[in-house]
Amino acid sequence: MTHPTAPSPQPLGHEHLAALTDARKRSAKVRRAAGVATLSGWTMAIFAAVTLLGALFGSLISLVTGVALGVVAFNEIRGATMLRRFEPRAARLLGFNQIGLAAIIVGYAAWSLVSQLRADPLESMGGSSGDAEVDAMISGLTSTVTYGLYGGMAAIGVIVPGLTAWYYFSRARVVRTVVSQTPEWVVSALRAAA
């Protein structure tokens, strides 16, 4: 019994290779954004794991923050995968995910600020020093450092994720342009290569 031989595939011609090369160049910004999202996602996953360790010691805020960071990490990695498949909605997912991250950071900073300001700084040091001026100086310095630390955290939590969200939102147009200006077979090949 003879088996039919499969037809040998035709090698890609010069114009096919040129189309693939052109599409790879055109999609560089999309692939770069996918790399940013992947790095961000795995970084958030590490932060989520470390934060969840605090929950082992009974910290409810660590549990809530760790779970929220885990959701952000999952969405970043999922969005990176979607970008590699040239799905324009990935940019929207990633942008809103960064806005969610900003809300988590600002919420954590606000909660920490209120918690620290409610606490008596002298109590954490073992009580009053016995000198009213020294106690006032310690209380004032503690308040200043607390405002600076958590206020700075909130500011960074708005600026960095805000700029990253803008970056991701701007990639939607780039993805649509790549898909519309690239032959369908090339887009399929790039998706398969991802």
Residue 12 belongs to a domain = no
Residue 14 domain-assigned (yes or no): no
- For residue 140 the two structure tokens come to 């004032």
Residue 153 lies in a domain: yes
By the 8 A CB rule, do 37 and 77 touch?
yes
Q: How much is the pLDDT for 127?
A: 60
Please tell me the total count of domains within the chain: 1
What pTM did the predictor assign? 0.80
H/E run at residue 45: helix 28-55
**Confidence tier at 187 by pLDDT (50, 70, 90):** confident
Reported as a pLDDT band with limits 50, 70 and 90, residue 13 is: confident
78 lies in a domain? yes
8 in any annotated domain? no
Rounded to an integer, what distance in angstroms lies between the CA atom of residue 179 and that of residue 194? 15
Return the minimum-mean-pLDDT range out of 6-15, 17-26, 94-103, 143-152: 6-15
Within a domain: 4: no
Angstrom distance (rounded) from CA 142 to CA 151: 14
Structural domain boundaries enclosing 139: 23-193
What's the confidence (pLDDT) of residue 4? 44
Instruction: Give a yes or no: residue 7 inside a domain.
Output: no
Residues 19 and 186 sit within 8 Å (Cβ to Cβ) = yes
15 occurs within a structural domain: no
